[in-house]
Amino acid sequence: MKNDNRSNILFRYGFVVFWILMLSAMIAMKLCETTVVNAEKWNHKADSLLSLSQDIIPRRGNILASDGSVLATNLSYYTARIDYRAEKFNVKKLREEIDALSEAMAANFPEKSAAKWREHLLKPLEKEKNKRPRAYRILTNLSHSDMELMKSMPYFKGNRNRTGLYFEKNMRRFNPYGNMARRSIGGVGETRQSKEIHGISGLEKALDSLLYGRTGTTAKVNLTKDIADLAKIPAIPGCDIVTTIDINMQDIVESELNNVLDTCGADWGVAVLMDVKTGDIKAISNLELNPHGPGYIEARNRAVMGYEPGSVIKTLSMMIAVEDGIVTDFDQQLPTGAGWAYAGGRPITDSHRSTSIRAGDVIEQSSNIGMARIITSKYDSHPGAFYARIKRLGFLEPLNTGIAGEVVPRIDSVPSDRGGRIALSRQCYGYATEIPPLYTLALYNAIANDGVFVRPRLVKELRGTVDSVLEPSYLGNGRACSPRTAEIMRGMLTNVVWGDHGTGRFLRNNSVRIAGKTGTCYMIENGQYNTGKKRLAFCGFFPAENPMYSCVVLTCHPTKNFFGAATTSGQVMRNIAMKLYSRGMLNNSSDYESASPSTVGPTFYATNAQGDPYKKLRTPFSLPNRRTVKGHGEHKGSGLPDVRGLGAREAVETLESHGYDVTLSGNGFVRSQEPAPHTLIDPGHRVHLNLSR
């Protein structure tokens, strides 16, 4: 009996030892196969695995206003998800705390009621365990504070492996000021080739190589317990771009352009405000009718697109004539009459008929005939020389402002035949050419700047691994004309507004003297001029006696109330100048007097068929006050309007429309105002607004 038991035990031991030896032999064979026979194959596979790399996407640079305020930046947003198949997912605890969790979610994220949140969170538990979702979406577009708040809620504040809660991080381009200068700042999007985020418009596109930075790469590193990704070539963050945009001026320009476009029912409008000395673009706005609703929205950046400029380009022709000595006697009488058929072409006409005009009054009265007679007297035998003169000036050089989509002016070099002579006679007063508004502005800016032809710019500083301050640059040889010619041209442009027969008399005011030029051009449709549609321009500078800012405004096809260049585009410029004056931004005190511009309504003029003001109305009238939000901003008697809860722009507009001087601190919405709402104070006093988001 004992021998039988011993035999059974030995047999069992022998059986186990046999299989251990067999398994060991198999392991040894496999080891030999792997390390010797197939060593090259596995080494190659290991090398290929370790050689795998991933791109490290760099941080995109910020776009900043001139004072450092952020215009475009990257923000992290999070998507909350639950893995219902997490290793230790605690179903029992979720059911126990679902009521408290649902109440907390409804209180902080009211997209759903508590009952709906309960239903949403328990729904995946209706499925079998192995069929429950691993990435069940709870909320999207969460801020960092929202994410931390969710982590502190009942049930969610436990271990991730037990709650299943996790967050996906996404980077998104964010514009703190909304649509302010949106087209000039631009936008970003994925490229088809690499799915990387790059600029697709505006500064984001034009300066993408600087903003994007340099992509880095990772390398696989064999650690003791794992293979990890480590940076092989670190990513280099993009530069921060400091623009020339002034937030306060941008707000004024957008607001005044919008107000006038809304008043005259125009299709679109563009306005650019520039510093005379430096060429810094302080504000740029492009608005067009909203095709999907009321009001105006940010449009294509038409400031850098080519259009027939109309009479605003007469200033270029006259400047050349004065500089080159074509006009020396400003009292010279130029015959005009009903029309002038130069070179046998269709007669050139003026809107204001007379037998003759002084050479010095051609700009003031915007005479097509006078301008054509002056230029053709010099270039009749060689029309192409006029193009060469403009090119020599530097007027056809790329501006390189940093705005995507920028084009250069199209002014054709015409032949010396009859057709070329006719084309010359049209080019000199604004037809048969295409000139972006920004080029026109650069020319007027040079006249305001004693002839110094500074280049418009939208970028003034780069901040990155190496900071770089960009100095102003210049067009041509740095001068559009001599200081003497610039002085003469400033006088002519001042007379457009202040002369007895100026086409811009509508723009007179007692606070800021404006100088500039009106321009009217019919729009081309189907290859022909549509005389029923006009593009109206005004370009100039202010204050006329000591220019600080130059400005150009285009208004397309007004349909009501105002139809002249001065009453539409010119009015935008005047309102901008007045608003800058009222805020003390023209080196003046912003204290209001009893008869300040804000309490005395502007005087309007009747217009003739061409839209030029010629007869003062017997009773001046004012534009209606800007809109206010119901429940806020109503003017009760002589009490101070209540603007608490309004955004900064709307609050300032409401108070300024009642004649108050406004100062701000903070950002966002109005938290409080000093003096208190409904305080009985007269217009002209200063009101301070405290803002907070």
Find where tokens 């007669």 sit: 347
pLDDT class of 635 with cuts at 50, 70, 90: very low
Question: Is residue 564 pLDDT above 50, yes or no?
Answer: yes
DSSP string, 456-509: PBSEEEEESSS-EEPPP-EEEEEESS-HHHHHHHHHHHHHHHHSTT-TTGGG--
Please, are residues 447 and 395 in contact by the beta-carbon 8 Å criterion? no
Give the span between the Cα atoms of 373 and 421, in whole angstroms.
12
362 or 604, higher pLDDT: 362
Other beta carbons within 10 angstroms of residue 302's beta carbon come to 22
Find where tokens 């370790």 sit: 50
- pLDDT in the model for residue 628: 31
Find where tokens 């080159």 sit: 324
598 or 620, higher pLDDT: 598
DSSP string, 284-330: EEEEEE-TTSSSEEE---GGGS-B--GGGGHHHHHHHHHHTTS---T
Range of weakest confidence among 79-83, 317-321, 619-623: 619-623
Give the span between the Cα atoms of 267 and 290, in whole angstroms.
9
Look over the chain and give the mean of its residue pLDDT values, rounded to a whole number: 83
The secondary structure element, H or E, covering residue 573 is helix 571-582
Question: Is residue 155 pLDDT above 70, yes or no?
Answer: yes
By DSSP bridging, strand 686-692 and strand 669-674 are antiparallel
Q: Mean pLDDT over residues 568-574, rounded?
A: 95
pLDDT class of 30 with cuts at 50, 70, 90: confident
Q: Tell me whether the omega of the peptide bond preceding residue 675 falls within 30 degrees of 0, making it cis.
A: yes
Give the span between the Cα atoms of 574 and 253, in whole angstroms.
11
Residue 555's contacts (CB-CB under 8 Å, 6 or more residues apart) are 260, 261, 264, 266, 269, 535, 536, 537, 565, 568, 569, 572
Give the span between the Cα atoms of 554 and 519, in whole angstroms.
9
Amino acid 425 reads S
Please, are residues 200 and 187 in contact by the beta-carbon 8 Å criterion? yes
Give the span between the Cα atoms of 224 and 381, in whole angstroms.
88
Please, are residues 592 and 481 in contact by the beta-carbon 8 Å criterion? no
User: Please, is 4 exposed, middle or buried when counting C-beta atoms within 10 Å of its C-beta (0-12, 13-18, 19+)?
Assistant: exposed
Give the span between the Cα atoms of 541 and 573, in whole angstroms.
9
Q: Mean pLDDT over residues 85-105, rounded?
A: 90
The structure tokens listed for 369 are: 């005939």
Give the span between the Cα atoms of 494 and 502, in whole angstroms.
9
The structure tokens listed for 20 are: 């251990």
Tens of pLDDT, residues 324-359 = 999 999 999 999 988 998 888 889 998 777 899 999
- pLDDT in the model for residue 604: 32
Please, are residues 118 and 99 in contact by the beta-carbon 8 Å criterion? yes
Question: Is residue 99 pLDDT above 90, yes or no?
Answer: yes
Q: Mean pLDDT over residues 527-532, rounded?
A: 78
Tens of pLDDT, residues 182-232 = 767 777 877 666 667 787 777 788 788 888 888 777 776 666 666 666 667
* 315-324 CB burial, b ≥16 within 10 A, e <16: bbbbbbbbbe
DSSP-based helix, strand, coil % in the chain, nearest 5: 35, 25, 40
pLDDT class of 594 with cuts at 50, 70, 90: very low
Tens of pLDDT, residues 481-518 = 999 999 999 999 999 999 999 999 999 988 899 999 99
- pLDDT in the model for residue 229: 64
Angle between helices 314-323 and 384-393 (to 10 degrees): 90
Percent of the chain exceeding pLDDT 90 equals: 44
Q: Tell me whether the omega of the peptide bond preceding residue 543 falls within 30 degrees of 0, making it cis.
A: yes
User: Please, is 685 exposed, middle or buried when counting C-beta atoms within 10 Å of its C-beta (0-12, 13-18, 19+)?
Assistant: middle
By DSSP bridging, strand 188-190 and strand 165-174 are unpaired
Please, are residues 608 and 636 in contact by the beta-carbon 8 Å criterion? no
Tens of pLDDT, residues 488-497 = 999 999 999 9
